[in-house]
Amino acid sequence: MADVFTIGLGHNSPEIRKNANFDFISFWNEQAKNLSWFSPWTTTLDWNPPFARWFVDGTINASYNTLDIHQAIKSEKTAIFWEGEDGTSRKITYGYLFAEVQKFSNVLKSLGVKKGDRVTIYLPMVPEIVIAMLGCARIGAIHTVVFSGFSATSIQDRINDSKSKIVITADGGYRRGKIIKLKQTIDDAINGLDFVEHVIVLERTKTPIHLTSKDKLWNDVMKNVSSICTAEPLPSDHPLFILYTSGTTGKPKGVLHGTGGYLTHLFSTFKWAFDIKDSDVFFCTADIGWVTGHSYVVYAPLLHGATQIMYEGAPDFPDASRIWNILQKYGVTIFYTTPTALRMFMKFGDDIPNSFELSSLRLLGTVGEPINPEVWKWYFKIIGKKQCPIIDTWWQTETGGMLISPLPGLETIPLKPGSGTLPIPGVDISVVDEFGKDVPANTKGYLVIKNPWPGMLLTLWGDDEKYKTVYWSKYKNSYYPGDYALKDEDGYLWLLGRADDVLKIAGHRIGTAELESCMVSNDDVAESAVCGIPDDVKGEAIIAFVVLKNDVTTTTVDLEKQLITKIRNDVGAIASPKQIYFVSKLPKTRSGKIMRRLLKSIANNEKIGDVSTLEDGTAVTEIQNVFDDIQKTIQKKSI
Ligand code: WTA
């Protein structure tokens, strides 16, 4: 029997859930009316499976809904309290943001950016990233933000795929007191990409940079430009952004989101999940380079005219008290973070958060990976002082916004540590077996979504076929997110991790195929297989198995270094394997497929299932031996 905590915020509107589940189309039709539309829609949902168009014929603008609508009464209100890693801070009001965004839209226009053009944004967590995104949205340009920890090769792939003609970056960004040279990375990334016409460079760190004829400094271009730019009325399904994410193939997929449906989803979930009020101070620790930052740092809080904190740096820099310091300094009321961050804070000990005044908090949230019940309870007791509901929110880059979460702004339900509880109203979610049949209660199966929802992706950029195969081919008429789950006797959903070859490292999505293709590009490597092993803090850590070619003379110590450097250069530091194991063969089926399931089982100390299809049983024994060695090393280290 799981622990249960019933702690609410005084809301109870069962009719919303009832109406939504009775007729989800009429329900979302009502929700969309919370936004400002230039012209109304004629059809709520045009569902041509698996392509959904929400609010057909309606015209809308994301920048208008996050800025213009607040000017009459909130232009002096703080939109963002920005906290630099170096201790500097800035206060960004709705009025300032409005003017700067319009200026930036005019800059983009003056550089020839038109509706539908793509703009790549590679910036650290500074307010200008929000200005750049909303500046694009205002004129209908499609932003594609790339996390500033990605390497030149990763960015090049993304710029190339999206064919962005403008790139926005900074001279550098701060990370744990060091300067990361972002402009230099962009120089390498756009080398040979002639279609990139201009690079706009924000000077954040004042680190020396080399300017080319394509480069323009942010401050220069913003100097003599008008601060008036009318928001363009755009069709509801006009693409707002592309966000690349890892999947099971070697290449990241460009998840394409629209405007009207996406904003409706965010407006509603932000209200229901976070119970947002005008007086709240909201703090989401996600980097804008990931979907949580897009949806719940940029769009949702600004749609509501909320005040939020944006923090530039690492959560434990300069020391383990940094985040609690920020919470206390600004009187944060709603805090949204990841299980990885919580596991790290928990390790630092209770004395640190206990020495801060955190009584302003009224609601806590997590996202990105399963949260262990003991971490949930720690969060509840030590951070929330047993006064704050915790929302464990499940969703994906593709879903646009939350789909499973407690909703204290709507209803008070018992919370179970480790469970995302129920789907949001209007979304039909099941747990099924291989054949699509519902599994009995408390049985592990595959999560599926059975009806369209407004925040869902439009498609994959330039690849409708891949969109169909990746998400809609495993089950007829259901969206397959690639997660394991179970439903308990109360209908609560428990998310049990990825069912495919995607890893979640510190909440970041990394595709095993991407790493494997990077490793086999080394001349000495014949084959490689990557999988995750449990990690106390990051949830999962990457380990790799490598089979070398026969005539290799390089030592494995050197090769390990080479391979790690290659991954850091081609993908980014977040994808560095914790350990590389050199083995003579990999476990494969008779048809030649690597049995990753088996590697995962061995790695996770689980029972090895049916191996009758294995080509050669010795590979299992060999890998099992390698693993026994790892276990011993881990034990030795902890003694
Ligand atoms: C995982 C992040 C358990 C899941 C918003 C999903 C979670 C993937 C949770 C999407 C949660 C996200 N509990 N697992 N509350 N939230 N996940 O695209 O495996 O970076 O498929 O979006 O994260 O990761 P993405």
Q: How is 91-138 classified by DSSP, letter by letter?
A: EEEHHHHHHHHHHHHHHHHHTT--TT-EEEEE--SSHHHHHHHHHHHH
Residue 612 has what pLDDT?
Answer: 66
Q: Which domains does the chain have, with CATH numbers?
A: 14-409+416-486 (3.40.50.12780), 502-638 (3.30.300.30)
Residue 539 CA to ligand 1 center (angstroms) comes to 12
Structure tokens at 598: 């088996």
Which residue's alpha carbon is nearest to atom 14 within ligand 1?
369
Residues of the chain below pLDDT 70: 1, 609-617, 627, 629-639
Kindly state if the Cβ of 420 falls inside 6 Å of ligand 1.
Answer: yes
Kindly state if the Cβ of 509 falls inside 6 Å of ligand 1.
Answer: yes
Is 84:130 a contact under the CB 8 Å cutoff?
A: no
């869902």: which residue's tokens? Answer: 456
Q: Residue 72: what residue type?
A: A
**Which numbered atom of ligand 1 lies nearest the CA of 502?**
19
Kindly state if the Cβ of 394 falls inside 6 Å of ligand 1.
Answer: yes
Pairing of strands 253-257, 241-245: antiparallel
* Phi–psi pair at 231, nearest 5 degrees: -70, 135
Three-class secondary structure of residue 317 per DSSP = coil
Name the residue of 495, 508, 540 whose CB sits within 8 Å of the most ligand 1 atoms, as the mutation to test its pocket.
495
Kindly state if the Cβ of 333 falls inside 6 Å of ligand 1.
Answer: no
> Which residues are CB-contacts of 97 (< 8 A; sequence separation ≥ 6)?
67, 79, 80, 127, 130, 131, 134, 302
Angle ∠(15,17,20) on CA atoms, nearest 5:
105
The CA distance from 545 to 547, in Å, is 7
Strand runs (DSSP E) across 208-321, as ranges? 215-217, 234-235, 241-245, 253-257, 281-284, 307-311
Residue 639 has what pLDDT?
Answer: 41
* Phi–psi pair at 7, nearest 5 degrees: -145, 120
Residue 619 has what pLDDT?
Answer: 75
Residue 630 has what pLDDT?
Answer: 56
Kindly state if the Cβ of 393 falls inside 6 Å of ligand 1.
Answer: yes
Residue 638 has what pLDDT?
Answer: 46
Instruction: Enter the pTM of the model.
Output: 0.94
Structure tokens at 100: 């700067």
H helices, E strands: number in the chain: 21, 30
**Which numbered atom of ligand 1 lies nearest the CA of 482?**
21
**Which numbered atom of ligand 1 lies nearest the CA of 292?**
5
Kindly state if the Cβ of 504 falls inside 6 Å of ligand 1.
Answer: yes
The CA distance from 147 to 155, in Å, is 9
pLDDT (tens digit, 9 = 90+) per residue, 515-552?
A: 998 999 999 999 999 999 889 999 999 999 999 998 88
Residue 158 has what pLDDT?
Answer: 96
pLDDT (tens digit, 9 = 90+) per residue, 306-342?
A: 999 999 999 999 999 999 999 999 999 999 999 999 9
């943001």: which residue's tokens? Answer: 97
Kindly state if the Cβ of 294 falls inside 6 Å of ligand 1.
Answer: no
The CA distance from 346 to 350, in Å, is 7
Residue 99 has what pLDDT?
Answer: 98
Is 403:423 a contact under the CB 8 Å cutoff?
A: yes
Which residue's alpha carbon is nearest to atom 10 within ligand 1?
396
Q: What's the chain's average pLDDT? A: 94
Kindly state if the Cβ of 498 falls inside 6 Å of ligand 1.
Answer: yes
**Which numbered atom of ligand 1 lies nearest the CA of 404?**
15
Residue 363 CA to ligand 1 center (angstroms) comes to 20
The CA distance from 537 to 578, in Å, is 13
The CA distance from 128 to 229, in Å, is 17
Is 446:486 a contact under the CB 8 Å cutoff?
A: no
Q: Where are the alpha helices (DSSP H) in 177-299?
A: 182-190, 218-223, 260-274, 291-293
Own/partner pairs, 519-524, CB within 8 angstroms, 24+ separation: 519/544, 519/546, 519/563, 519/566, 519/567, 521/566, 522/559, 522/562, 522/563, 522/566, 523/549, 524/548, 524/549, 524/552, 524/554, 524/559
Which residue's alpha carbon is nearest to atom 23 within ligand 1?
368
